[in-house]
Structures are given as structure tokens and as C-alpha cells.
Structure 1
Amino acid sequence: MRDRLGRECLYVPSCRLGLYVALRHWCGPGGRVLMSPVNDDVILFVVLAAGLRPVQAPLDPRDGSIDVSAVPEATWRSLDAVVTTNLYGNPDPAPALRARCDALGVPLLEDAAHAIGSVAGGRPVGSYGDASVFSLSKHTAAKTGGFLTFADPALRDTLREARDALLTPSRFSAELVHALRPYAEAGVRGLRLVRAARAVMRLLGMEEREAIRMPLRPGELERAVAQAPALPPFHSWVRVDMHDYRISPGRARLRRTARLLDRLDDRLAAHLEGTRLLLASPWGAPGPGPVQPLFRVPLLVADRDAAIAALDRRRITTGYLYDPPLDDYASELFTDPSPDPEPARWFARHALPADPRGAERIIAVLEAAGVRPAGAPPAPGSGGGPPGGTEGGTGG
């Protein structure tokens, strides 16, 4: 990863823990952080756990990236940091955000969990920020691990000590479950027992969401916010779908992760090929830049629930849905809402994240089901209106 990015890298057990370490190092308590409202709710809770106030950014409805030009000047002047999302691998405008952060004298932190192979402005995503975080649970399918990367190599010891202070000891039971999980998943797929497997995963704490967003529990969350910055009061939110998010990895876990990382370029090539097919479909929305090896391709469909149902009938699971946007989900009690929320609502309501490795099969199912493309997205500044969130699907 150091060779790939041209900067220092520190292994972390999860992207979410790496982001928490970065926020605590680069941002003082009480700071205001610009972020995307179309993101995993876990990231909102990580920002809150770091003692920071999330500020939701306006988005480009075509790909869910931050719309730099739509952020009010007063908001820019109030910020203490910017966190990118690079949703599904579509890059946020890192060069423009880097320039803005430099002018303001605030850090840029890149969440590259979905974007390990994406490029912005001719450089890898993750090479612009003061710090960046990557997930090995995504493109490599390691189900664990990630990297915290940073521009200043002199910070390595400081950041390693901050990471180590948050780690929990490795457990034999956790290592055994991690080692057996890929074989169990392959077995249930072969026996077509996906629904039963998901029920078992919920019992084991590997998948806990009944709807797209986890329950907010505002009363409990207020009490946790009062104790921030501190991670333990937020464990019940931050650990969702990944109870080992801060575990010290055992040797077997590290060996398997390293083997999968060695195959990264082959995986990226497969994602790139599938992304091209999906973007060329009636539901694709190609961006202005080069085609990226997206982790998921956000197809824009008129009726997402119907599309999910059609895919589910063919045992194709849809995950990584982020609806409603975080400002509608969390309310003004826990976040500053976007000044123009409708583009994010539109994107969150219509985006169907498609795994590019199954591109041909997904296209065939959607065509057979008569799934229609979404209409034109709202123009910037089109106003608020009622939240457009829908229930159903699975969280990321």
C-alpha cells in the first residue's frame, strides 16, 4: 500500500477505527466536520464519538459526490475538517477539496473504504488528504482490516500508539470464526441457503440491521455525545455488523488478509470490466472522468424496491444502501443539515448498488423485470421538501 499510494501506511483492524484515530489526531473536540449525508451511519457515529459536529454537504445527484460549489461560504469558514466519502468508489473532487482545505488551514481526511483502486486528478484516491483510511473488507473481501495512511512519516509512532491504545486482545473464538467464515459462506451459497445464513449471521453479530439504517436511539445517543470524545460510549453503534472492529489481529487473520491483498490488482481488473458494462446499461450514469473499478455501481432506477425484489428472487442480494440521508436520519439534534438536501435525497432513493462482478446477470434480471431508469435528478438549489427515504434492503 505504501508503494501504491506513495505515503506512509499503518495497518488498522477496520476502516472505522482508522477514521476515529485520524479524527482524534487532526481535530480538536467541538470541531465541525463537513461530510456526505449519503454514507454509512457508522461513520456518523464515529464522527460523534470523536467529539465533533457533523456538517452535511450538498451532493451531486449523478454520483453522490460532494458538490464543492454548493457549499455556502459561511459553512466553509466554520469548518475544522473535511471528510470525503468516495461513495461506491466514485471519487469526491479531491483536488478542489484539497485547495479549499489549504486555503482554510484545515485538514482533509479521505475515507477511501470503497475506493482502493480509484483515481482523482491523475492520482490515487487517498493520496490527497492529511490522512486517509482504507478498508480491506471491500475489494479484497478480507472481511477485516484496513489502512490508515498519512502524508507525514514522522507521525507514524504517534498514530501507532493511538491505535494500540484502542485495540482489544485477540481472541481464539474470533479468529476461528474469521477463519471458517469464507467456507461457511461458500457452503450456504452452494446449497442456496442465503436467507438462513443471514439469520445465523444476525445471531453471531455479523449482520444486525433490520432496515437500511440502524435504530438511532436518540436518548441514549444524547448521553453518549455528552461523554465524547470517547469511543466506549458509542460501541453499540460503531460496532454494528463488525464486532471485531478494534481487535488485535492474530497471525492466521493477517496471513489470509495478506494473501487476498496480493490479488488486489486482479480483483480491480474484474471490477473495472463489470463497471464498464453496468455504466453502459440503461440505468448507468457515467461520470465526467475515467471509468473507475467501482466497488459497487450505483444504478439509478425509478423504483428501487421493485428492482431489489427482482434481484432477490434470483438470489442476488443488494447491500450498501444509504437511505435516508444522514441529516434526515439523525435530525438537527446530532448534525447540521445540508443547505440543499434534495439532490442527496434523490440519489439515496434511486441508487441501486450493483456488484460489478455480477454485471451481466444483474443487467439480465433488471431487463426481464422491466425496471425503468430514474428520471432527471433535481437541479441544484431546488429546495427541501419531505424526506424521501424508503425502508428495506441492507445496510453497508
Structure 2
Amino acid sequence: MVSAYAELEGRMRDRLGGRECLYVPSCRFGLYLALRHWCEPGGRVLMSPVNDDVIFFVVLAAGLRPVQAPLDPRDGSIDTAAVPESVWRGLSAVLTTNLYGNPDPAPELRGHCDRLGIPLIEDAAHAIGSTVGGRPVGTYGEASVFSLSKHTGAKTGGFVALADPALREELAAARDALLHPTRAIGELAYLARPYAEAALRGTRLVGPARAAVRLLGKEEREEIRMPLRADELRRALPAAPSLTPFHSWVRVDMHDYRLRPGPGRLRRTTRRLARLDDVLASHRTGTARLLASEYGPPSAADEPPQPLFRVPLLVEDRDAAIAALARHRITTGYIYDPPLDTYAGEAFTDLSPAPEAAARFARHALPVDPRRADEVLGVLRAAGTRPARLSEAPGGAR
């Protein structure tokens, strides 16, 4: 087990220029581990309102109060210039999102965190190949957390990368104390899932296939956002920090998020990580095509393309665009609408001081797989999909 962890950690360490890496069973688990280590319960954490609701519940489970940041409407990155000084002064930490692989402004955020004496924690789940300021995403924070469920398609695993390697032993002990034992049935389901999904897709029975995939992956969302269940959430809050009272929210779409991996799971993950460079190259090529299209933000042509996990095209009628893509068996996921402050309300989060840009981006962003760039563009153009232009940002957005 230790040697398998070591191989995975070594591969990731090389990618991050020598940063110490600790294997974790999922990004959400790694974020909880990092937040618990660096943040005292009761603190406030600046985060993006256009983010997976699971991450919102991870912050709450860590005993922290989410503070929603203003965003640049072109790419969903944090707009540091629009964060009031009064908000900066009340923070205990900053948590980036790097939405779809578009980097948050880590150099600027690092400067603010240094000025305030608070930690920067990077959620790099979508950004395993992205760079910012000439450095890989994940090399600015005290900790950064990566997912192997995204670009690699392993559907399990991740890393916590550490600026201070001396913390490895302490965090490894905290990880091991939180892990659940390996379950044979869970390992069998994990190893069988790709074959079952492929067989069902081949039948073209979309309804049964979706139902079976939901059963295999325990995907529980019927809408974009999971039900908040406000009364239950209020009862859970006093028990934080702890994963247990928040388990029904944190586990959504990934019930094995804190499961100790078995050897089969680790072997498959290692094989997929070894092929990552080829995957990143295909994502980068498709990203360039999509961002150069009429649906990409006007500023996108000014920057070299990142190997985005999903490319957020900007369209006027997103529901119609999703329906057009679905008719060609192109599934759209990773939509985070409405923003978290609208979803959760001020009972559970500090509202963004400038929410309009995030709301516009969330309403018009159409995240698509860059590996299907040509198909996606062909469908959207044939359907008469109109691009949305959201570059006129309020406040200090770039």
C-alpha cells in the first residue's frame, strides 16, 4: 500500500517541481484535511460562489463560514480588486477554485494572504495542467488539492501538495485517522463500473443507462444543485468540525470519498496518471479551438491556451444549447448555477459584495469537453445558438 502511494505521489511531485505530495482518496477529502489543519473553527474563508456545492459543504464541515467572492464574468475567476478591504480583514483563509482549469489570480491572492498573515489553499481539481504567473497551479498556497477524477478519468483519488514538507507526517496521520477501511464490494463496483458504463452507452438506451450509471456511481442530483435541506443543515452546524454530520451532503456523487483504496483501484489510478500528458495535450488543442470560436470570451485569444478540463462557452440560451447537444449524445455537466450565495442564503454564508458578475457567468456558461470541440461547435452552429458577451464587468474585474 505504501509503495503504491509512493509511486503516485512521486509522479505528482515531479509535476509540481518537487512539492511534497500526499495521496488522498478524493479532492473533497483533501480539502477537508487542509482546511482542518490550517483554519481554526469559526473562521471565515473567501471562496468562489460558482463552485460545486459539495465544496461548500466541505467548508461548513470544517467548522468554517464561507464568504462568497466577486468574480470576473468572463471566466469565473476571483476578482481580487472587487473584494472590499473590510472583507479581506475578516478572513481566516482564501480558497481558490480555478474553475474548469481557468486559474484564479494566485499571485495576487498570495500577496493578500501574506499581507494578512492567512493561508492560501488552492482547489486545483480542474487545473492539474494549468499555469498562472509562469508556475503550475498548486504551487502558490500553503496547500493545494488535486483530483484524479477529472483529467485522468480515474474517478477516485487525489493529492494534497504541501509548501512545507515537514508537515507531511502530521497530515498523513490525520488522513489515516479519517479514512474508512477498504470494502471489497466497493472495490468490485469501482473496477466494474467502466465496463458497465461502456456497455450501456453502446445500447443507446439513454434512460436506462443514466439510471444504471446513477446506481453505480451513486449520483444523487436530479437538479444542478443538490437539495440544501436547510433545517437539517442548521442542526448539523453545531457539530462541526466533523465530516460525520455532513456526510449526506459531502458524499454526493462519490460515496467512496473517504475510503482507503484497495490495490486494484491504485493500479488503475497509476496507469491513468501515467497517460496524463497525452490527455492534457488533447485538452489544450480542443480548448484553443473552442476559445477561438464565437462562443469564447474576447480576451481568450490574448493568452496561450490552458488544458482546460471543461471550456465554459458563453451562450445566450444555455438550456436550448444543452438540449441540442443532448440530441447528439453530448452530455453537459459541471454547471454551477445558481451561485452559492443564492443557493444557500445568508443563513449559511456571507453574501458576495458584488454578486452580479457571478450570476451572469453562471447563467450563461456552457461547460463542454474540449476533446469534442469540433462536434460541439458543429452542433451549436447548426442549432443557431447565439453567443453571450459578458466582458463588461463591474468593479475591478480584468
Instruction: Using structure 2 for the length normalisation, give the TM-score.
Output: 0.94
The Cα shift of 1:140 comes to 0.2
* Other-structure match for 1:299: 313
Structure 1 unaligned spans of 5+? 383-396
Q: Which amino acid aligns with 2:332?
A: T
* Other-structure match for 1:240: 252
* Other-structure match for 1:327: 341
Q: Which amino acid aligns with 2:78?
A: I
* Other-structure match for 2:67: 55
Q: Which amino acid aligns with 1:23?
A: L
Mapped partners of 1:181, 1:194: distance in 2: 16
Q: RMSD over aligned Cα, in angstroms?
A: 1.2
Q: Which amino acid aligns with 1:226?
A: P
* Other-structure match for 2:269: 257
Mapped partners of 1:70, 1:176: distance in 2: 49
* Other-structure match for 1:388: none
Matched, 1:208 2:220: yes
What aligned pairs does 1:136-147 form with structure 2 within 5 A after superposition? Answer: 136-147=148-159
The Cα shift of 1:188 comes to 1.8
Residues 58-93 of structure 1: CA distance to partner in whole angstroms, max 9, x if unpaired? 000000000000000000011000000000000000
Residue among 176, 180, 188 paired with 2:188: 176
The Cα shift of 1:102 comes to 0.5
The Cα shift of 1:201 comes to 2.6
The Cα shift of 1:184 comes to 1.3
What aligned pairs does 1:151-190 form with structure 2 within 5 A after superposition? Answer: 151-190=163-202
Residue range with higher mean Cα deviation, 369-378 or 71-80: 369-378
Mapped partners of 1:327, 1:378: distance in 2: 22
Mapped contact 2:324–2:379 kept (Cα < 8 A): yes
What aligned pairs does 1:276-291 form with structure 2 within 5 A after superposition? Answer: 276-285=288-297, 286-287=299-300, 288-291=302-305
Structure 2 unaligned spans of 5+? 1-11
Mapped contact 1:46–1:238 kept (Cα < 8 A): yes
Mapped partners of 2:206, 2:247: distance in 1: 28
Matched, 1:2 2:2: no
The Cα shift of 1:381 comes to 4.6
Mapped contact 2:107–2:133 kept (Cα < 8 A): yes
Matched, 1:224 2:258: no
SS of the residue 1:24 aligns to: helix
The Cα shift of 1:276 comes to 0.7
The Cα shift of 1:290 comes to 2.3
- Calculate percent identity across the aligned residue pairs: 73
Mapped partners of 1:47, 1:209: distance in 2: 20
* Other-structure match for 1:13: 25
* Other-structure match for 1:317: 331
* Other-structure match for 2:105: 93
What aligned pairs does 1:74-85 form with structure 2 within 5 A after superposition? Answer: 74-85=86-97
Matched, 1:339 2:353: yes
* Other-structure match for 2:379: 365
Mapped partners of 1:114, 1:272: distance in 2: 13
SS of the residue 1:34 aligns to: strand
Q: Which amino acid aligns with 1:28?
A: E
Q: Which amino acid aligns with 1:61?
A: P
* Other-structure match for 1:112: 124
